[in-house]
Structure 1
Amino acid sequence: MIRYAGRGLVGYALSYVALVCVALLIVGVVVYGTFIRSMEQEIAGTSVSMLKQVRDVTDSRMMDMNRIAQLIASDPDLVSDVPASEGYRMGEKVRSLAKFKAANSFAGEIAVYFRGKSGDRLFAASGMYELASFFQEAYRYANWSADSFLADFSELRQPVLRPLEPVTLNGVETRNRATYLYPLPLHASRPYGVILFQIDEREWSGMIRGVLNNEAGYSYIADDRGRLVAYAAERDREEESAALALRLPGDLPRDGVRTVSLDGEKLFVARIVSDYNGWSFVSILPAERALGPVIRSRNVFALCVLGVLAVSVLLSFVFGARQYRTERKLHTVIKSQARIVMEKELLDLIRGKTRDHDDKEPPFAPVLEFTFDRYIVAQLLIDRYKQAALVGSRSEPAVMLLSLKNVLEELAGDLGQGWTLEGMEPGGIILLLNVREDCTVEDVKELADKANAFLEQHFRFTCTAGIGCLYEEADLVYKSYLEANYAARSRYLRGGGQSFVYESLREHEHEQDPYRYRYELHPLLSAAIRKGDKDEASLRIGEIVASLSGQRLDVDMGERLSFDLVHTIMKTLSEAGIVLPDQAAAALTELFATRFETIAELEAAVIKFCQGVCDDIASRKESKNVELLEQALAFIGEFYTDGSLSAEGIADRLGVSRSYLSRYFKDQTGSPLMQYVDGLRMTKAKELLAETDLKIKEIVELVGLTDPNNFFRKFKKREGLTPQEYRDASNSSSGGGA
């Protein structure tokens, strides 16, 4: 019975194989007939997909230039009128434009021209130019001059792109560049200014080749007037390809592919039009070259069909089993990657990227589905996160982050719904909340406080939360994120373990009195370091930090002023000629490189560094001859009014060499020998100017100086005033004036 059943199974299998073989022969003939058409459709779909990528990149860069133009228009220092005499302010305009250019690698040059302001000048990232000089020397256009520019400017109402044209740079190199003109303000009947963006042809062409990898055919970009913006063609066929583009029919589809025959050659022409600026993105591909491998494999295909017939059953079982395993694996991967998809959507939202309706739909539904019409972002930063790995195991920081994310998403259910994403810096978490109508910012602050309490209870760590503003559009989520990031960074000045609301921070910063930084403390700190007095140095550092943390400063300003503290220390060491040991030099480098979480951490690190430096300086001074310093100071104090006093004379009087005395005096006092003598003379001169009516020439002689011109120069450099201005100011002050 078993043997009979086996034979029946074999017979059934053979019948199935025969049926499959006959069907395969019929299908093979039909498939071959439709194969070419399928390949055409696939090539067409690929061309459209790649063109969309080019369009998206181009639209993004044009939007970046428009955003830069809006930022320039909103900067009062750039748009304000500056007299020609104020060279520094004009230089500031150039430096500001250079920063904008550095932030946008697409533009080869950014320039600004204002009607009737700052004379007939044009400010650019590369410098300041007379209008005629800009167009004749710096950038000489083949078909555009200063007069043509002014004529175009008078008629400019909205952004305009000039097509590619030869531009000679500084009379040396000629390149093809397109010029994008953006009026200030936009859509005004009479703009007061215009921004020029120069885009090199290589930027356009490189972008097309980089995205399309165009090895055959021709691709180009045309503006809304049909003018050529950029192109990329097969090597040695640029002119032929450009002529071919001009012969294309005018009724090409707006978004799609059409087969065109020119001179007996069949071409695939794909075209995409941007909704942002109306530009056309076109790709032309010869059908014969695209389908060449398919045509050449025609005979091979027939032989392959015969081979497939021989092994159809075996391959059916093998491929079926493999396909089954692949599908199961694919479903498992998609399910496990749902979190990654959700985080990708979150990242797009906080970056301000919105989904375009033409984008290709994913193979599964979006993870983020908003129920309510209000959105808010909170950013949480785990305090002392870098120390987490030192306190526990290596996995503890990851466990702490994961636990905090789960708690935040669970607490978010009380307000609506929420999703988390790891932040841009270590130990950071971004929380996007889609909240109900009755939810307030204070409710979000309470949620952040609960998360902080959980973290402290279970991990003995705290976190700082920054909370942005509520918005009613998902497209504005990125603004709430920027506000939350700013608020979280307030930890630097105000300490960690707190929740900061952006609106409250801004209100307090605007209500407070103007803050004046205590620069006078920096010379005192320098003097303490030179003397090697670590107690005084620690005191001065504490005073400087207290002056920062005791005020409601802007976060960015606080970080910049803190950097000034480290810079003062470095400058003092450099001016005093103090060579640090390798360990101390490495510590100073770390002060510059480390981004401290709070200003208190910075204070502790700076004090520790300065105490080590002061100990080293003090030990050096103690090893020197203290009696020699007292003799030198006494001799200088008695004879500094002698015009013949010199370093050689002082050294001879003390019985030492001039070079030794100079090194010793600077090491002990932190000041060069003759600079100290000049300081005494200047102090005496100030006293005589304020308290006597002696002529300035007489005062010069009395204090031991022989050259009045040298005295005037040193006095002005030291005091910021001429001797006569100092005397007038002293007399005015003693008489009750300002």
Structure 2
Amino acid sequence: MRPIKESVSRNFYSKLLLSIVLCTALTLTVSSTVLIVFFNRIVLNQVYQSDLNNLTQTSREVLNMTESAQSLTFQIYRNINVTKLLFYSDPNIYDTIGAMGELSNYLNSMPYIESIYVYNPKSSNVYIASNSGQNGLLTKNELTDKAILSLINNYKQYKPFTPIPRTYKTGDANNAKKSVYTYLCYDAIGAKGSVNSAIIVNISADWINKDIGNRKTNNAGQSFIIDNRGVLLGGEEQELQPGISESILQPVLETDDAGFRIAKVGGVKSFISYTGPDSLEWRYIRVTPYQLITKNVSTILWTTIWIAGGIIVAGLFLSWFLSRKLYVPFGHMANRMNMLESEKRNNLYTIRQQFLRSLVLGTEAINMKSLRSKMAEWGVSIDFQKRYRLILLRIDGFREFSEEKGSDLRVFKYAMMNIGSEIAMQAYSVETVELEGDRVLLIVGESSDVEFDNDGYLNSLLLQIRQAVLEHLKIGISLSYSPVQDQVLQLHTAFKQTNEASDHRFFAGHGAIIRAKDFELVRVENYVFPVDKEKKLVDFMMAGRMEEANAVCRNIMSETSAFPLRVAQSTVSRLTITINSVIHAFLKNRLIESDAGKDLTIPPIEHFETIWELEKLFDKMFDEIHEKLDSKRSMKYEDLIRRINDIIEKNYADPNLSLNGIAGEMDISPSYLGRVYKQVTMHALLDVINRVRIEKSAEMLQSTDKPIAEIADKTGFTNPSYYYRMFKRHFGLTPTDYRKSIGDKK
């Protein structure tokens, strides 16, 4: 009978192992196939997002270049020298030289500009500043770029300030061609619909088409543009082959939204990503061979197939081999597994933790009869029919601590629970509960050894717990505890009260011991935001008094300490909006630079454990605003003083030169101008005007023999006696004596 039993056993284990191997291989194959399908979708979405980001960036660069071209043409239109070329049919040679110099300066200062044309239909000439090819003053017949004249004559066919892609001959010795994007800016239209004047800015296509055409990139794809006329553009060739153009244009133009699709382009299966129309009505397209994108996924697929095949082959051999060696009864193995499962289910600590956690969080239905039965079965030492308290321990600096400890975080929380229970067991019965995040809960029950209402003794125990956790675990903790309770129905309410009180660590600081009874907070709806203080905040900021503004912010936040923490959160949100509105006002009035105009973002209140962290953020924020205001104000004042001094130096001989006259010329309030000039230079403006006039008259007394009255008149003094008095006050001599002293020295 023995051989039969061995044969039956080997046959049984052979079938068992073979079934396991086949199931494993099948599971691996099916799951891998499903995962590969999802991986393929994820890869396509990632490529689409990457393409969309790159294409959107290209669109932004084109828009920025368009804004630069528009700004440049406006500057050229405002240039006095160039204006003479635009509106005079035959400007003089000096004006022409000056204007061409200005155009060359614009051209040299902006390397992406290929050329600038100034066109005046009343003139037979076209004025060109160019990096290559024709340059200078040319007649319309000499102009090799004849297409620009046609563009001007047919300006209605083009949307204003939309880049016009084109190619023109430079007219140099090599007769080379230049690919550019032309921006046309024309003056008011005449009665016959013709252009009165025009400035044409040609920007090199190489600057705009940085990623357009057949250039090699990381994923060997190609990028294209569909302009506002519906023409597909790319690379040096503006209009592509009809076959490629139709395969790309047709699916993209069917929708106005960004997206992607898979289609054949030039006979190759490709992944096509495209953006929606931008403000120029241009769209950007990226075409990548599909095989390149899914190459790694295909490799995974074939690797999975080979692994599954290897498992089947190896499994067949192992099934045959192990079936000859395994003789352990299956029933014994099954019984052992049942015992292990039973031990796991009967793990009292885990079950007790789950039970207490559900009671505390209010998810356990309370039936007194079943509750007593469960507590007795699972060894819960707290009698909720007697008096008890809740003590909540929270880790200080939890965000940094959890990042540092990682997977060991739970071990540290168990250590905290052990330390807390060992110290509290000196006077109470104790149960510990692990909660989510930075929290650990101690439930302490009444014993006959200590007066349970004695908060002083409880505080001494909490100090011991805090000190022991710091010494042994190097962890700072804050603690909060509930009032005395005597019913299990009050457990969840007591926990909510204690947990809400612990949030006031935000105001009390790290290491605080908080009695929940002291924080019976005012209802949220009773809070009224101090609008008057908000107005003071705005006034202080607008006046540049950032220290006072910071103090108001701190005061507003401190007033929320008597309310639930969500009141502080809403207050922070409103302060953020208020401060941002002031920053926008600074930007609008050019009191700070535009690169400082990003919206201020204050993280949610949960990001801060203490109000000190929030106040530190306020300090940094207001210091930065103050620095930017001071920097801008200093630059503004220096430029103002320079302009005033230039006006005085230029117009000192004008007897009407005065504070009011200078203020009117600069479009500034006279009182403001005089005050700023005195603050910066420490001299009154009228004194400076007189000093310049006196010094200029002294130079004329030295270098000429003109009468003193004439010199006084030429330097802006209409009253000779006043001139004599001012001159003597400045040099200590009358003009006559001064001239004599100069003659004696000679």
Structure 1 length as normaliser, TM-score?
0.39
The higher radius of gyration belongs to 2
Higher relative contact order (CA 8 A, sep 6+): 2
